[in-house]
Amino acid sequence: MYFPFQLRGGAVAALIVMSAAASWAAEPLTLVEAQQIAVNRSQQLVAQGALRAAAQEQAVAAGQLPDPVLKLGIDNLPANGPDRLSLTRDFMTMRRIGIMQDIPRLEKRQLRAQKFEREAERIQAQRQLTVATVQRDTALAWLDRYYAQAQRDLLVQQVEETALQVQAADSAFRTGRGTQADVFAARAAVITLHDRLSQIDRQSRSAALMLARWVGALAAERPIAGSPPWQTTPLQGEVSLEHLKRHPDLLALSAEIDAAETDVQLAQANKKADISVEASYAQRGPAYSNMLSIGVSIPLPWDQRNRQDRELGAKLAMVDEAKARYEDMVRQNEADIRSLLNDWQTGKERLARFREELIPNARQRAEATLTAYRTGKSELAAGLSARRDEIDVRMQALTVEMETARAWAQVHFLLPDQHISATAKDQP
């Protein structure tokens, strides 16, 4: 059959794209790559970038003079009598054209521009907080998926071992060396492990769905690779005030304080009146002279005590409110960080105890009971119970490691990792 060249070329291109997509989907998904994907596809970052650009544009506009006002009019037009509605016969009638310009003080225009610059800084700090939040939540979802897979691998290994014990118990029963109760006990152990496997599969699917919220469905289907580096974090030492002040929440509040202080300066500047200048040219009838007018308008702040002073007091109160929120957030962040560090340190200590004491002890007990069963000194049920206990201890160890890793992620990504977010599709 003959295919046009364009159709054959399109089919080849489609096959190449499908092969590339399948190859990409098969590649393992590391923690760093998952975070990079999440940052690059975050629409919240795009929205905040647009807000920041808007504030920067407004800062430029706020520093300019207002638009001039063109004024047209007719003055002293006769309303009755023989000259009614005549534009030329009465010497007082004038056709007027003029222009007026408000001239706010330079200081006020600079302060208004500065206020929008502070707003742009606040939005940028808020964007950094969003980057840190995306990285942290992506890490938590990735960790849930990682440890669900680790728990599943452990259970699958135990299912295979227990299935072999079922075969051994069945063979022993047929040869008269075992009892039927041993067979039923081994089968019950396999069923129990399969039930636990179903629970783990449910947790794994839930973790994949949450991970898909950040990296997309296609990337979330990729296998997880790499070990989370939860053993160390830059914050494992003493929490310093300088580190706290770099937190995006506090940077955003600091920008709010700067904006509020700019409002105070603007309220103080409003005590000084602005001026408006106006010039107009009036044309009269041919028998009369044309007129040129020039004027200056100056507002009279006759009640500063109840207007400008009240406005200034309100702005000063807003500065106090922003500073109080800043101090409260410093204390809250310090308490949160110390609590997370405590969870992380305690988790490391518990995990060391599991690995060095509890797991070896459970393994030795299981091996001893199974050896006793093989030598006819105990029943298979005791060996299976010891094996279940070993599985439980190993599962507990994985749970402790997961909780420790989650505490690490929440501490480690309090500040955005710039190496991850450097290629994000957003303004710097």
Instruction: Supply the pLDDT for residue 74.
Output: 93
Instruction: Supply the pLDDT for residue 380.
Output: 66
Angstrom distance (rounded) from CA 20 to CA 13:
11
Q: Are 358 and 397 in contact (CB under 8 A)?
A: yes
State pTM to two decimals: 0.79
The CA radius of gyration of the chain, in Å to the nearest whole number, is 38
Instruction: Supply the pLDDT for residue 354.
Output: 92
- Choose among 311, 323, 277, 146: nearest CA to 222: 146
Distance of CA 196 to the CA centre of its chain: 34
Instruction: Supply the pLDDT for residue 50.
Output: 94
pLDDT tens for each residue of 124-146? 999 999 999 999 999 999 999 99
- Choose among 213, 164, 239, 160: nearest CA to 415: 239
Angstrom distance (rounded) from CA 64 to CA 100:
16
Q: What is the mean pLDDT of each run of 10 residues along the chain (428 residues)?
A: 44 44 65 93 92 94 94 92 87 92 93 93 92 93 92 84 73 72 78 86 90 92 87 72 82 92 93 93 90 93 89 94 94 89 92 91 84 72 75 89 93 81 47
pLDDT tens for each residue of 241-261? 777 888 888 999 999 999 999
Q: What ranges in 216-307 are assigned the alpha helix state H?
A: 217-220, 241-245, 248-269
Q: How far is CA 67 from CA 56, 100, 159, in A?
A: 20, 9, 80
Angstrom distance (rounded) from CA 380 to CA 376:
9
Instruction: Supply the pLDDT for residue 110.
Output: 94
Q: Are 382 and 373 in contact (CB under 8 A)?
A: yes
Q: How many CB atoms lie within 10 A of CB 265?
A: 17
